[in-house]
């Protein structure tokens, strides 16, 4: 006889309380039920196998199964579900298994594997399985170096040969999905991708909780998958310069360009003297006038290199004007970087050079009332 789902709620509550008492974050052991329900509703489960690669106390797939059964009951149908999970923490694994046994789900309890020796990353217990639904709240911001040592035989990332993380992609038979060793959350996603069904009409569905670090680490093209671009990750040696890059750097054209830049910079310094310009706009005007007097014509990129080499950022310096628009042709629009200004006593519209050190990112809801403009006016503008 099956018991109600209250046992699951009680055990999850106890896990959170015990974790808090030990100084650990309760969320490491239990995902809030509201988050679980949101994931399950996004997943829209139907009959089949449900898998959680970091199952904790089992709350996620338990709610998924209950939701599926409720949907089936509403449509007067009977469906069969099979639960599978893996958990490295011995205490939460025991709670999960006990919860299923108390409910009378002995078969499901047999499919839960866990304990300190059963890390999903380095000791996958479901290698030959494919699942219909997969959902998880994996650990993030947590190092997986101990797993790396087991996976590589105490070597480096290049020694990892696990087919979940080394795949064939875009003609590369050894395309690596391995991330920086300080945060392994994306590896749990790669693990789930390897267990997707490809021979059924509906395939597989995945819902996983992540924080933002894996999306916003580095600049464009420098995400978690580009391990060699991550600062502080010294597990593997940095890539050496390609032969093409070496040839360019050592080529005659590069040396000629650098010699030309040095010559222009030396002549500019001699003409301008040692005067300190506190207004960068005045400095740029003086540089342009001096270049004309000396009959020097560096390209825009060359001039930028020279100017940046002798300039630095000062908090209270006048803002640097990037472009001046003709009066009457452009209207001020602060949200789009167009501002009213007075230059030589005349009112005009200007664009300022952006300060990269002041850049920030905001996550704006899609259903924000008034759109992005309203959010900026309320949260960003002074």
Q: What is the DSSP string of 201-247?
A: SS--EEEE---SHHHHSSSTT-STT-GGG-TT--SSPPPPPPHHHHH
Q: By residue range, what is the domain housing residue 292?
A: 240-318
- Residue 3's pLDDT band (cuts 50, 70, 90): very low
Q: How far from the centroid of its chain's Cα atoms is residue 96's Cα?
A: 30
Residue 283 domain-assigned?
yes
Structure confidence by residue, pLDDT tens digits, 95-141: 989 988 988 888 889 999 999 999 999 999 999 899 998 999 888 77
Residues 305 and 323 in one domain: no
What pLDDT is stored for residue 114 in this prediction? 94
Q: What is the CATH number of the domain that holds 39?
A: 3.40.50.150
Please tell me the least confidently modeled range out of 33-47, 56-70, 82-96, 298-312: 33-47
CA dist 43 and 28 (Å) reads: 22
How do strand 112-114 and strand 81-87 relate by DSSP bridges?
parallel
Decide which of 229, 248, 264 is a domain's last residue: 229
- Mean pLDDT across 339-349: 82
- Residue 370's pLDDT band (cuts 50, 70, 90): confident
Decide which of 286, 318, 350 is a domain's last residue: 318
CA dist 56 and 90 (Å) reads: 9
- Mean pLDDT across 161-166: 90
Residue 87 has pLDDT above 90, yes or no: yes
Residues 305 and 359 in one domain: no
Q: Of 240, 212, 216, which is closest to residue 228 (Cα–Cα)?
A: 240
Residues 244 and 224 in one domain: no
What pLDDT is stored for residue 215 in this prediction? 61
Residue 249 domain-assigned?
yes
- Mean pLDDT across 312-322: 81
> Which range, 36-50, 109-123, 291-305, 313-327, is most confident?
109-123
Residues 14 and 78 in one domain: yes
Q: Of 195, 305, 322, 312, which is closest to residue 261 (Cα–Cα)?
A: 305
Q: Helix (H, G, I), strand (E, B), or coil: what is residue 166? A: strand
Residue 137 domain-assigned?
yes
Q: Of 22, 98, 17, which is closest to residue 57 (Cα–Cα)?
A: 98
> Which range, 61-70, 165-174, 232-241, 342-351, is most confident?
165-174
Residues 331 and 314 in one domain: no
What pLDDT is stored for residue 224 in this prediction? 52
Residue 235 domain-assigned?
no
Diameter over CA atoms, the chain: 95
Residue 129 domain-assigned?
yes
Residues 102 and 30 in one domain: yes
- Mean pLDDT across 162-166: 91
What's the whole-number average pLDDT of the chain?
79
- Residue 268's pLDDT band (cuts 50, 70, 90): confident
- Residue 331's pLDDT band (cuts 50, 70, 90): confident
Residues 261 and 296 in one domain: yes
What pLDDT is stored for residue 220 in this prediction? 41
What pLDDT is stored for residue 248 in this prediction? 72
- Residue 5's pLDDT band (cuts 50, 70, 90): very low
How do strand 133-136 and strand 205-208 relate by DSSP bridges?
parallel
What pLDDT is stored for residue 131 in this prediction? 93
Residue 248 domain-assigned?
yes
Structure confidence by residue, pLDDT tens digits, 172-209: 888 888 888 888 888 999 999 999 998 888 889 998 88
What pLDDT is stored for residue 52 in this prediction? 93
Decide which of 229, 248, 282 is a domain's last residue: 229
Tokens found for residue 47: 């009959």
Residue 1 domain-assigned?
no
Please tell me the least confidently modeled range out of 76-80, 242-246, 320-324: 242-246
Residues 109 and 133 in one domain: yes
- Residue 14's pLDDT band (cuts 50, 70, 90): low
Please tell me the least confidently modeled range out of 19-33, 76-90, 242-256, 304-318: 19-33
Residue 257 domain-assigned?
yes
> Which range, 6-10, 184-188, 315-319, 366-370, is most confident?
184-188
CA dist 14 and 217 (Å) reads: 35
Residues 97 and 185 in one domain: yes
In percent, the amount of the chain with pLDDT more than 70 equals: 84
- Residue 213's pLDDT band (cuts 50, 70, 90): low
Residues 244 and 369 in one domain: no
Residues 284 and 380 in one domain: no
Structurally, the chain folds into a number of domains equal to: 3
Q: For residues 201 and 172, is the Cβ–Cβ distance under 8 A?
A: no
Helices (H), the chain: 6-21, 33-43, 59-74, 90-103, 106-110, 145-152, 185-193, 213-216, 243-250, 252-272, 280-293, 300-309, 371-379
Residues 290 and 340 in one domain: no
Residue 33 has pLDDT above 90, yes or no: no
Residue 238 has pLDDT above 60, yes or no: no
What pLDDT is stored for residue 121 in this prediction? 93
């Amino acid at each position: 006889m099956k018991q109600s789902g209250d046992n699951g709620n009680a055990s999850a509550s106890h896990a959170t309380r015990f974790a808090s008492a030990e100084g650990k974050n309760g969320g490491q052991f239990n995902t809030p039920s509201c988050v679980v329900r949101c994931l399950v509703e996004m997943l829209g489960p139907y009959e089949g196998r449900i898998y959680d690669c970091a199952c904790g106390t089992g709350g996620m797939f338990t709610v998924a199964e209950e939701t599926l059964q409720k949907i089936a009951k509403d449509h007067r149908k009977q469906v069969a579900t099979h639960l599978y999970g893996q958990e490295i923490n011995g205490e939460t694994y025991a709670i999960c298994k006990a919860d299923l046994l108390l409910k009378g789900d002995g078969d499901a309890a047999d499919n839960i594997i866990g304990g300190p020796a059963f890390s999903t990353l380095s000791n996958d217990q479901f290698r030959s399985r494919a699942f219909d639904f997969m959902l998880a709240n994996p650990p993030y911001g947590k190092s997986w170096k101990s797993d790396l040592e087991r996976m590589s035989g105490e070597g480096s990332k290049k020694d990892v040969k696990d087919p979940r993380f080394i795949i064939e992609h875009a003609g590369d038979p050894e395309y690596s999905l391995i991330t920086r060793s300080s945060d392994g959350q994306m590896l749990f996603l790669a693990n789930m991708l390897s267990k997707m069904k490809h021979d059924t009409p509906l395939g597989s569905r995945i819902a996983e909780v992540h924080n933002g670090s894996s999306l916003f680490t580095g600049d464009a093209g420098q995400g978690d998958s580009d391990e060699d671009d991550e600062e502080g990750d010294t597990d593997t040696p940095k890539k050496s310069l390609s032969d093409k890059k070496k040839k360019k750097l050592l080529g005659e054209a590069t040396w000629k360009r650098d010699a030309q830049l040095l010559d222009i910079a030396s002549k500019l310094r001699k003409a301008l003297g040692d005067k300190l310009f506190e207004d960068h706009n005045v400095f740029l005007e003086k540089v342009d006038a001096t270049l004309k007097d000396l009959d020097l014509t560096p390209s825009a990129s060359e001039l930028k290199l020279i100017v940046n080499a002798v300039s630095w950022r000062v908090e209270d310096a006048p803002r640097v004007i990037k472009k001046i628009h003709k009066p009457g042709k452009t209207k001020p629009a602060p949200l789009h970087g167009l501002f009213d200004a007075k230059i030589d006593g005349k009112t005009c519209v200007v664009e300022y050079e952006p300060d990269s050190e002041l850049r920030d990112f905001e996550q704006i809801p899609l259903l924000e009332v008034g759109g992005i403009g309203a959010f900026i006016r309320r949260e960003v503008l002074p």
